[in-house]
């Protein structure tokens, strides 16, 4: 994998496809292209199909290992482990479901392109979405597991497995899939599990509250959190197993957990449906079900509705006394008001005209405010979807200010790595003056592209100083 990482994208894809063919799997590729926020994102998915010896091509499982994980790191060990697991699965004759090995180019758009093409019969290309059809398909997807193990060929042992489960628009997988992975990892393999990156969990109230808040925030944002998120809209239960920490577990432990999870899914007679699809996790072993938190949410929502109806009714009445305060008591008639007589059978009542007279509601101004607010909301929506960088208007003034501050502060704000900081602190004053002059000529509002080309080289440290794109 490390050797493939040093090659071009086309050579890497060809190499991965060659390895899949050597495992005796049916292999294919899929090209895709998206235009998001003014940027064109293109890539190629590589996948292979292992036909189960006992399968009837009606159900399938997906093993995912994106070439780049959600943080942009190359998933060396994750891809290598996925290919090894596919070779290992090929030797077994127990599979009653097909196994699909998917290696997308990234963790967001690649899985989305593949799963949407998998469930589509006719794909119409648009200016913002161009996805190729899949030449090889299997049955209905019963589950998907993604591996995130971004370490190089030298290897690195991990401490825990972070279980990522949040889908797009807050969708959640069946709780049984999470329980299965946690029980296998912690109960059988002795690997600790965490949620939302909170590796130090004491199972006390503050940590539970922090986990609940992280889960609610992630679901409220509704964005993808890993390769598994793209499968949620298609009712496919999926999770991502991400290695975190520095411990004594290695690829063998993660491989055993993956194998056990796939064998558990393979034993299913029907799709997961018995457990919860709406829940809030407090830790890996405790959760809050929908029956506990939904009544409170319904009461709050109901109170808003009832209060709005009450205000609507009151807005149609005349300017009478405040609720709970009477202007007349007993048989004393109100003074200074026109009175009307109301007869109800044999009962006669004299009340003020304003109490029974309807008032015309002025709806023009509220309607204009509501419509105007909705129309104004299209401005940030357009900026987020059609501009190359949504924050470009905020970055330009910063680039202009870089020429007026010291080069030391300018470079420190460019997210330098610690070795680079140490190097720059040792540069002489004359070198700083020369560098400041060069920055002034390149860091201008009109040359934002030049600034964006500098940032990646700043983060690489002092070894890349000769490759700076300075004039």
Q: Is 264 helix (H, G, I), strand (E, B) or coil?
A: helix
- Please, which residues have CB within 8 angstroms of residue 459's CB and are 6 or more apart in sequence? 414, 415, 416, 417, 420
Look at residue 434 in the predicted model and tell me its pLDDT. Answer: 55
**Which residue has 């059978």 as its token pair?**
345
Q: What is the pLDDT of residues 356-393, one digit of tens each?
A: 666 777 788 888 999 999 999 989 888 776 666 544 44
Look at residue 344 in the predicted model and tell me its pLDDT. Answer: 74
Question: Is the pLDDT higher at 408 or at 33?
Answer: 33
Residue 89 has pLDDT above 90, yes or no: yes
Residue 448 has pLDDT above 70, yes or no: no
Average pLDDT over residues 208-221: 90
d(CA 173, CA 237) in angstroms, rounded, equals 5
Look at residue 65 in the predicted model and tell me its pLDDT. Answer: 95
Query: Two tokens at 439?
Result: 């920055």
* Domains, in order of start, for the chain: 2-288 (3.40.630.10), 392-467 (no CATH)
> Residues of the chain with pLDDT > 90: what percent?
39
Q: Categorize the per-residue pLDDT at 82 as very low, low, confident or very high, splitting at 50, 70 and 90.
A: very high
Q: Is 305 helix (H, G, I), strand (E, B) or coil?
A: helix
User: In this predicted structure, which of 257-266, 341-350, 445-454 has the lowest mean pLDDT?
Assistant: 445-454
> Residues of the chain with pLDDT > 70: what percent?
73
Q: Is 148 helix (H, G, I), strand (E, B) or coil?
A: strand
Instruction: Supply the DSSP string of 169-195, one letter for each residue.
Output: GG----HHHHHHHHIIIIIIS--EEEE
Look at residue 426 in the predicted model and tell me its pLDDT. Answer: 44
Look at residue 311 in the predicted model and tell me its pLDDT. Answer: 85
Please say whether the beta carbons of 46 and 13 come within 8 A: yes
Please say whether the beta carbons of 146 and 241 come within 8 A: yes
**Up-side HSE of residue 238: CA atoms within 13 Å toward CB?**
31
Q: What are the E-state strand segments in 362-406? A: none
Pairing of the two strands 192-195 and 158-164: parallel
**Which residue has 């929506």 as its token pair?**
381
Please say whether the beta carbons of 79 and 4 come within 8 A: no
Q: What is the pLDDT of residues 342-351, one digit of tens each?
A: 777 777 777 6
User: In this predicted structure, which of 48-52, 151-155, 178-182, 299-303 has the lowest mean pLDDT?
Assistant: 151-155
Pairing of the two strands 26-36 and 98-103: unpaired
DSSP 3-state percent helix, strand, coil across the chain (nearest 5)? 45, 20, 35
Q: What does pLDDT average to over the chain?
A: 78
CA-angle at 203, arms to 199 and 207, nearest 5°: 65
**Up-side HSE of residue 405: CA atoms within 13 Å toward CB?**
13
Average pLDDT over residues 296-316: 87
């Amino acid at each position: 994998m490390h050797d493939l990482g040093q090659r071009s994208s086309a050579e890497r894809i060809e190499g991965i496809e060659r390895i899949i063919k050597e495992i005796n799997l049916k292999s294919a590729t899929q090209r895709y292209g998206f235009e998001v926020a003014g940027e064109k994102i293109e890539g190629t998915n590589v996948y292979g199909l292992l036909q189960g010896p006992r399968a009837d091509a009606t159900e399938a499982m997906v093993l995912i290992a994106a070439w780049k994980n959600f943080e942009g790191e190359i998933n060396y060990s994750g891809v290598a482990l996925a290919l090894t697991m596919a070779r290992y699965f090929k030797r077994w004759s127990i599979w009653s479901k097909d196994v699909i090995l998917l290696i997308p180019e990234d963790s967001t758009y690649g899985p989305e392109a593949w799963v949407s093409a998998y469930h589509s019969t006719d794909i119409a290309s648009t200016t913002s979405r161009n996805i190729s059809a899949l030449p090889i398909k299997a049955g209905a997807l019963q589950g998907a597991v993604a591996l995130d193990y971004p370490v190089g060929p030298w290897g690195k042992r991990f401490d825990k497995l972070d279980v990522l489960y949040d889908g797009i628009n807050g969708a959640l997988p069946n709780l049984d899939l999470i329980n299965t992975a946690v029980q296998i990892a912690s109960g059988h393999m002795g690997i600790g599990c965490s949620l939302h990156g909170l590796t130090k969990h004491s199972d006390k109230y503050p940590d539970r509250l922090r986990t609940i808040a992280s889960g609610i925030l992630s679901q409220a944002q509704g964005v993808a959190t890993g390769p598994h998120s793209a499968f949620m809209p298609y009712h496919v239960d999926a999770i991502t197993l991400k290695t975190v920490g520095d411990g004594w577990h290695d690829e063998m432990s993660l491989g055993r957990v993956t194998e056990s999870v796939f064998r558990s899914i393979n034993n299913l007679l029907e799709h997961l449906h018995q457990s919860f699809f709406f829940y809030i996790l407090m830790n890996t072993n405790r959760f809050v079900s929908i029956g506990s938190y939904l009544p409170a949410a319904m009461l709050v929502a109901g109170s808003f509705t009832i209060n709005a109806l009450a205000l609507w009714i009151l807005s149609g009445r005349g300017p009478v006394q405040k609720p709970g305060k009477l202007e007349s008591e007993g048989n004393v008639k109100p003074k200074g008001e026109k009175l009307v007589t109301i007869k109800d059978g044999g009962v006669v009542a004299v009340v003020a005209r304003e109490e029974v007279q309807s008032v015309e509601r002025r709806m023009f101004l509220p309607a204009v405010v509501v419509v105007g607010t909705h129309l104004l909301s299209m401005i940030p929506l357009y900026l987020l979807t059609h501009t190359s960088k949504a924050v470009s208007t905020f970055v330009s003034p910063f680039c202009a200010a870089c020429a007026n501050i010291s080069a030391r502060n300018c470079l420190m704000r460019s997210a330098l790595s610690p070795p680079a900081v140490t190097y720059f602190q040792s540069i002489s004053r004359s070198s700083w003056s020369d560098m400041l002059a060069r920055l002034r000529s390149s860091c201008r509002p009109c040359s934002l592209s030049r600034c964006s080309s500098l940032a990646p080289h700043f983060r690489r440290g002092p070894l890349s100083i000769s490759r700076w794109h300075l004039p």
